Structure 1
Amino acid sequence: MLQLATLINHHAAFRPDEVALVFEDERLNWRDFAARVDRCACLLRWLGVRRGDRVATVLANCRELLEIYWAVPAIGAVLVPLSPLLLASGLASLLRDAGAVCVITQRSLAPMLDEVRGELPQLRADRILLVDGASGDFPDYRALLGSCPEGGHSPVPVAQDELFNIMYTSGTTGLPKGIMHSHFVRAMYCTLFAAAWRMRPESVVLHTGAIVFNGAFVTLMPCFYLGARYVLLRQFDAVEAIEVIARERVTHTMMVPAQIIAVLNAPNFAPEKLASLEMILSLGAPLYQEHKDQLNRLLPNRFYELYGLTEGFWTILDRTQSLRKSGSVGSPPCFFEMRIVREDGSDAEAGEVGEIVGRGPSLMLGYYGRPDLSDQAIRDGWLHTGDLGYADAEGYLYLVDRKKDMIDSGGVKVYPKDIEEVAARHPAIREVAVFGVAHEKWGETPVAAVLLHAGASATASELCAWINGRVGARYQRVHAVQIMDDFPRNAAGKTLKREMRDRYNEGKEAGQ
């Protein structure tokens, strides 16, 4: 039997006075955090939540979300973290798909849940709990914690292949799919990532983004496994993140590329303020070489990069290789295998581009309720990622692009990442995203959307000429440059290229 929720009681028994969690003005030691997890578990059982039931959270970062994350598996139930940015129709469809019998959320979302409650017959009003006060038919989570029968219960034993959570994909490529992770898979997150990041019980781990997306578990699970200190921000703010790192002596942090860029350009950025860091992990999307070089120059021997899918395959660029293999996203960890395959399914040679295929002990159980999609993704035990890349002679992986993002211009494959790497070198450009749009002659042609540094001055036509004068081939020239105030992003901070493409097309149709 493998019960991850026993980790909390273990640390409460053997490291009770060590700080477990820092959130805003709250500092909880392991004894106090374990007591809160136990109270939450007792509340859920009192409400009738049973082993195997789905418990959904629809919350922004808060202390309650972390205690729920550990209380749900403690009673053998299944965690379903959902983004508070969902609209009513999307929220209803995911709650219905997961079969959630309990939802813990916030008052600002109560009207939306009231609106969709009729579509969710399995969800009773008394099991829609609000962490910041009752509203209408929905009770106050904190008040119920104080009124439900006393606890002292032990975590329910579960088999290692039982469900720990259902993580819904961000929906950047269509309708979200529920990715099923077992207790065993999450245990692999604990142990393998703890070793990869060189974490220890004395580490201080900062998380600045939303913890509802799977990338957060890359540092959350090893931190709680080791009994290290977890510092959580309510939301990402580059200036605040720098000050917290300096004040708390943070040793490990992970960010998506847009957050790393924002930190590097923050008005209070100074390498000495980040001197305590032993790891700066980039994940979620490729960090452009320009920014990797800047980071390695200003904060040497700290940069790691993770390429990974929630479905369960990873490669890791270790800090010891971040200069020697700076264009790479690393190699598969121990117990993982990787292949690069051609369209006919045969293995590609070193340096030859193909689809990235991998397997290892973190593979998902499948997509919830969609065995057809599961069979498409995992074939003969290998996860087909839909990403394009190549391996060098040493087995290090180099990303080329997503298959879905590849642009077919006049029969030639154009990879947006190649153009983005060029554009990112322009001194006025802070971020760039390249996507394909329809073209009457070439079929598709690339367009670059950019964000400028504060105070930078450049016109779209100037940037277009600069980029087109430096790309490696004529077919990589961009048709247009759009200067934007910000990019549309999902809860994980990933750029939504599909939405940008749609906006561009709408603007063209409107004659803008």
Structure 2
Amino acid sequence: MTTGPDPRFAGLSCYTSNLAGYRAAEFADTPPWFATSVRLAVRVDLPDGQLAFSHHAQPLDRLPDGTRLTYASAPASDAADGIDAELRRYGRVVVVADSAALPWSPSAGSTHHAPHWLLVDGRYGDEWHVVDAFGGLLATGEQRPYAGRLGTGALLSALRQPGWSPEQCRRGALVFGHWTPPPDGADPCWLRRTADPAPAPRLPGTWLSGDDALEFLRDRVTDDPAAAGRHLDDLWAAAMHHVFRHRWYAADAAAAAWADLPRALRFAVDSARRGRPRPALVRATFDHLRRLERDQATAAPTPVGRNPRQRPEGSAMETRTLYDWFLTSARRHPDNVAIEVAADALTYAELRAATERLSADLVRHLGRPPRRVGLLSSRSLVGYLTYLAALRLGATVVPLNPANPAARNLAISDEAGLDLTVVDDTSGDGLAEYRRQAAVAVLDLTGDGWRRFLTPDPGATVPPQVERGPDDFAYIIFTSGTTGRPKGVPATHANVGSFLTEVIRRYRFRPESRVSQTFEMCFDGSILAMFGAWGSGATLCVAQRGDVLTPVRFINGKRLTHWLSVPSLISFAKRLRALAPGSMPTLRLSSFGGEPLTVQQVDDWTAAAPNTAVINCYGPTETTVIVTAYEVPADPAQRVAAVNRSVPIGDIYPHLEYVLLDDDLRPSDDGELCIRGDQRFPGYLDPAENAGRFVTFDGARARVYDGTEPLTARHWYRTGDRVRRESGELVHQGRIDHQVKVRGNRVELGEIEAALRIHPQVVEAVVITVAGVDGEVDLHAVYTGAPLSDDDLTGLVGHLPPYMRPRGFHHRAEIPLTEVDKVDRKRLADEFLATHG
């Protein structure tokens, strides 16, 4: 089973982060073990002013099962076999690479050779899956965590040791905290696990630790500013290890002070080079650290027991809710425009004030802060105000779809346990029936009365913000269930926080960005748009239904930089001849998800938006919006389609784990995608729905969750999506439930649709199943674009087995879409049967 970088160890050195990832895969106590091991010791008796650093008091090569890690090496001709043997026995192995030989490193191809540890956790024929949890700013540029595959030749080439400097050799010998020198020579080197007795840890030479070490470093760097430059890598590693330690023990001030140390030293080095040394700054920085360390030594440690990227318990970060993401931007960028809906535009300060006034109205109407708020609204300004106001009061938001029949929204209201529903002028045709039958309080914000919230009221009393914890529900999205009853999918504040932390960076959301909102709030894609924008100080530009169908006009009118939608809208705009070349010059990033994105759609879109990057994303509601982001190559000549003519979805986010399971629930390169990690929801609102939707996995075979035991974080969510890896990327193959049996043969409908879309005059193609007169399943293809002869279409599928060739081809002006603009297969099949019998 392959994974991505473990985000709990982000920020640590390449040695420690990947060693921690190795240990954490098997031993749950790894984070506190590393936190308690951190200490700074400096060897001071080396010649020519050289220093050596040891960052851990506990011997990190010792493992809880009694085994230990030792260096191993072999000539290149034998190294692959040695690494493979370790991988087969333990499922992972740490290897020692050269950073200048790693394709993802900013040092790649340069003369900046440095030892760099990697975690290898899978082999697929001639390819090895490698994980590099290290991220940081190097002299050659910024390196980000990485997970991917290397061929055997590339891996062995990266493991060649060019001859390390004495300083680099000392770092390798002290990586476990005590003296364990790696083998001499240029042969590939890795860590081998052994049960041999461990020698007593030792540190030869004269060492200072704790306050003595800090005092010594302070004096050394103050007297010789160039020493800061010579030792900056080791001091950076010391700082990051202490940041990890103090965050684990909820010592925010100490963590922040250590995080500032590398910046202060770089500033001092640069100043000294310009002839303006800053000794006072250096002394003050180290003395501040010494005071904080002494304070921490006398305080009882209070381990948080969570990911050090999360905020410690009791701090402001611990309870950073979805509303806090908005509030932080409102404080930092009060004058930025936060939202534009039709002719209305509000700054962050105005939106925050209106939200506070509306929250007072919610409390007055109910007599207390609400617990769960239904929101029956469609892209209205009052709807977005209510969303924020409910979050501010600590309530869970439950968006209801105005396009639903009233009976469905009533059933959802009952299932969700709403205590208040807010309605407005966009609540749909079922509003009157909903009012009559709803068993919950209804706050009526129809008409223009709600606009009073936009006007300051000096006499109004604003209720306090209600704090919630990371495991409390932020929102509940209801999806279609196989039983015909909607299923409630809750997302916790921790789920959404993990998601936003990842996507705001990936999507380059910035305060100057202008982001489209094309999704209804009952579709979780709206979270990416809303809080991607509000979490970064950007402007959310809300598209009405007509705007979505004419994207070019809306994008240019709003000067959008970010467009987020389903791919179907590209085909719709092309059918209307609304994608003229160069017609959308302001776009910088376009993201599509919810259904397959084709290379042809990308070509059409980027021709009209020549300055945009395109991201193809994927994610079930149960894993908090999206879990992949594949950026399509900018050069059209480099765009490669998968076998099914779709664009890859890319790898799963590195802070999540995934596995592909075949029909026998064994790991495969082609199977059902299962996911666990920070974004995985805690289970359906009705626990009975959880049975069959999760698995446990021991690395060899999965076991389906039957609901008789507690659902825990170790369970993997079964997405129901078939995924396989092609050319190193994950490719979506369609729903498992879109696999049909035709005369005993398993058929992927998406494969037939892809064959039909190859024709340049076919815009969309959907294959549906119909019961034949002989009781077997017949396939029929429905397509849009130019009408074509049956002979033309039959030729497109001639390479498929006879049982995969449609019985008939049916031209339509358009394919029906759901309320969230995905292909409505059920409606298409119903209309086909009504027409053809």
Quickly name the TM-score band, shorter chain normalised.
0.7 to 0.9
Residues 381-460 of structure 1: pairs in structure 2 closer than 5 A = 381-392=715-726, 394=728, 396-441=729-774, 443-452=776-785, 456=786, 458=787
TM-score (norm 2): 0.55
Distance 1:241 1:358 in 2: 34
Alpha-carbon shift at residue 211 of structure 1 (Å): 3.3
Moved more, 238-247 or 354-363: 238-247
Deviation at 1:8?
3.4
Q: Aligned partners of 1:302 and 1:102: how far apart in 2?
A: 42
Equivalent residues, number: 488
Give the SS at the match of 2:604.
helix
User: 1:9 and 1:335, CA in 2 relative to 1: closer, same or farther beyond 3 A?
Assistant: closer
Partner of 1:254: 564
> Any residues of structure 2 matched to 1:323-402 within 5 Å, and which?
323=638, 326-327=641-642, 328-348=648-668, 350=669, 353-368=670-685, 370-380=686-696, 381-392=715-726, 394=728, 396-402=729-735
What is the identity, as a one-letter code, of the residue corresponding to 1:408? K
Q: Structure 1's 143 and 152: CA in aligned 2 closer, same or farther, altered over 3 A?
A: closer
Amino acid at match of 1:358: I
Structure 2 residues without counterparts, runs of 5 or longer: 1-318, 643-647, 697-714
State, as a whole percentage, how many aligned pairs show the same letter: 23
Name the CA distance, whole Å, in 1 between partners of 2:716 and 2:504: 25
- Structure 1 residue aligned with 2:130: none
Deviation of 1:85 after TM superposition, in Å, equals 0.3
Q: 1:376 to 1:501 in 2, by over 3 A?
A: same
1:158-194, Cα deviation, whole Å (9 max, x unpaired): 1111011110115688332110011111212321111
Spell out the pairing of 1:127-138 with structure 2 (5 A cutoff): 127-132=442-447
Amino acid corresponding to residue 754 of structure 2 in structure 1: E
Equivalent residue runs for 1:132-211 within 5 Å: 132=447, 141-142=450-451, 150-170=460-480, 174-211=484-521
**Residue 218 (1) aligns with residue 535 (2):** no
1:465 aligned onto 2:791: yes
Q: Could you say which structure has the larger radius of gyration? A: 2
> In 2, Cα distance between the equivalents of 1:502 and 1:49?
47
Distance 2:716 2:369 in 1: 30
CA distance in 2 between counterparts of 1:292 and 1:15 reads 34
Displacement after TM superposition at 1:113 (Å): 4.0
Rounded to whole Å, the distance in 2 between the matches of 1:503 and 1:286 is 23
Partner of 2:828: 500
Tell me if structure 2 keeps the 8 A contact 1:410–1:443.
yes
Amino acid at match of 1:315: T
**Cα displacement (A) at 1:311:** 0.4
SS in 2 for 1:269: coil
Match of 1:385, as an amino acid?
A: T
SS in 2 for 1:274: coil
Query: What are the superposed Cα offsets for residues 69-95 of structure 1, whole Å, 9 maximum, x if unpaired?
Result: 111111011101011101122121111
Aligned pair 1:481/2:809, yes or no?
Answer: yes
Distance across 1 between alignment mates of 2:621 and 2:329? 28
Does 1:235 find its partner at 2:545?
Answer: yes
Distance (whole Å) between structure 2 residues aligned to residue 493 and residue 216 of structure 1: 13
* TM-score, normalised via structure 1 length: 0.87
**Residue 82 (structure 1) aligned to one of 400, 404, 411:** 400
Q: What's the secondary structure of 1:280's corresponding residue?
A: strand
Residue type of the alignment partner of 1:32: E
Change (3 A) 1:37 1:390: same
Question: Gapped runs of 5+ residues in structure 1?
Answer: 134-139
Amino acid at match of 2:656: F
- Does the Cα contact within 8 Å between 2:330 and 2:537 map onto a contact in 1? no
Higher relative contact order (CA 8 A, sep 6+): 1
Name the amino acid aligned to 1:345: L
**Paired residues of 2:402 and 2:429 also in contact (CA < 8 A):** no
Deviation, 1:116, is 4.3
1:136 is matched with which residue? none
Within 1, Cα distance between the matches of 2:754 and 2:458? 56
Does the 8 Å CA contact 1:43/1:148 hold for their aligned counterparts? no
User: Shift in Å at residue 326 of structure 1?
Assistant: 4.1
> What secondary structure is seen at the aligned counterpart in 2 of 1:448?
strand
Q: Distance in 2 between matches of 1:404 and 1:148?
A: 58
Task: Give 2:396's aligned amino acid.
Answer: V
Give the 3 Å change call, closer, same or farther, for CA 342–35 of structure 1 in structure 2.
same
Q: Are 1:46 and 2:379 counterparts?
A: no
Q: Give SS of 1:184's match.
A: helix
